[in-house]
Structure 1
Amino acid sequence: MSGFLGPLDSDGRVPRQQQTRVAAFLISAHGALARQFAFALPARFEAAWQTELNAQFYRESEIVSLLMRATSWVPDIALGYMTATWETAWLPAPIEGIADRSLAQAIHLATLAHAVHAGIRPAALLPVEANAQDPFVVALRRIEFESGRLLQAQILYLKGADLLPHRDAVSAALEKRHAAIRKLWRETLESIGIEASRSE
């Protein structure tokens, strides 16, 4: 089992089957975030922080759009079952100790986004000899760059004064979400012969 994507073809491109499965996972994760950010957007902004929700929604949508176009897709019959598993994992889960539904939803979205952006590092899977001009390679690097920027918004919210009274509940929810995302990502990579520890 390798720590990197490949073996690359003669043009330095990632095998299409690996592209397909990695892209499908990332589209599922970032697509779920885009949908949930869209649902969380108010009809009218009444606070400055709400503009960040709008920015996050568009960034996640751009990541999905980029992957759809940059990936060299091949049929993959395993994706039906795998996608169902992934989509279930993105759903909100009850947060112990927080009865306020809107607050729990905001914490769910922030912890999910934090886990996706911090826990999934697709560019780390690329070998140094990967073709820097290949659209899929460029896309993975772009996604990792954007994830680093988006992560800052989740950190600010999760460590903010508004959640100080719920610090233990937030920390527990964040830890659980990170563990679930790491497990899914590891299983996805192992299914295409990649040693997941390289990307964590």
Structure 2
Amino acid sequence: MQQTKIKLTSQSGKRVLSEDELTQFLHWLPQSKYPKNVLLLTLLTLLTGCRTGEVCEMAWENVDLVKGTIHLKDTKTGSERHVQLPSQAIVFIDAMCSTPKNYLFEAKRTNRPISQHFLNESSNRLRKLDQMIDIPHWTPHDLRRTVRTGLGRLGCPSEVAEAIPGHSRKGIEGTYDLYRYEVECKVWLQKWADYLDTLIK
């Protein structure tokens, strides 16, 4: 498969990781000094393209590992949806089940979901300690944008690539095309996860 480089920019809302940066990130993340819950939350964001706030709030009662889905009831767009999980995500989420709790990513002291503020503070702490990966100007939200851009590069149809991160459709398409593309989302998220695997082999 011929790969093309993604144009980088530091403009707000435009930052994505290049293939080289993504490879570097995937090698760094498992050995990073992130707290374990932040590490896994970051990985799940990269595997699904979800908003980090949505991943923070994911509850075990909404996880179905048999179907390979997580039901998001409270989203930024106001529409419920089922996140389709690639097999790689199912494996590590299944391993997390051994510890009973309400949320996938809980704060130890409060038993509440960890906040985006904690996620950002964890990154800032690594930067202060000079333990952050040497990728300039990146934030956790850039991973979501990287997923959407990478899917397009892999050949994912636009309507599916938009459905995966939960983007709302506008205009006539948003009014008349109510199909959720869940089957297609699962297929393409698996292709995306498999592609990520090739970067670390």
TM over 0.5: no
- Point out the structure with the larger strand share: 2
The structure with more radius of gyration:
1
Calculate the TM-score normalised by the size of structure 2.
Answer: 0.26
Calculate the TM-score normalised by the size of structure 1.
Answer: 0.27
